[in-house]
Amino acid sequence: MHAMATMRATLTLTPYEDTLLVKAQELITNGDFGIAVMVAHLACEISADRAISQAFTKKRIKYLEKWVEDLRLGHNLANPRVLKLYNAVTGDQIQKPSNTFWPDFKESANLRNDVTHKGRIVTKAEAKKSHKAASDLVAYLNAR
């Protein structure tokens, strides 16, 4: 008779935004700077969307979420309409001066828009700064 060892599988779930930030770093390492900026901002949008959705639940107004979602233009907190929604439902003022990452995030969001809409070429330094800004924003949102 064989003694059978009991194996326990451990499942570790990594949030999408964390995976995207790792991928963005890999893209920077591989010299794909513009794509890295876009991927890093996708991580920000996922985190912002999750934070807003959780705020609807916390405030017990989940029934309004779909209706508001239909009115919203995207998930980018650099968009004034999305920022106003985030501030209103969370009670947070993410753009306050004490959040030192905010100006770099806004700059990075502009860079992302230039890459997406104008085909801007991104330098390694810009991509690294953008990745840092995105990582800081995601960390802030995840800590709330």
> Which domains, ranges and CATH numbers included, belong to the chain?
16-143 (1.20.120.330)
- What confidence score (pLDDT) does residue 111 get? 97
Burial (CB < 10 A; 0-12, 13-18, 19+), residue 77, is buried
The pTM of this model reads 0.85
- What confidence score (pLDDT) does residue 64 get? 80
- What confidence score (pLDDT) does residue 135 get? 98
- What confidence score (pLDDT) does residue 105 get? 97
Nearest Cα to Cα of residue 24 among 15, 33, 16: 33
CA 73 to mean position of chain CA atoms: 16
* pLDDT mean values, one per 10 residues, the chain (144 residues): 58 83 98 98 95 91 80 87 93 94 97 96 98 97 91
**Cα angle value 103/106/111 (rounded, 5°):** 125
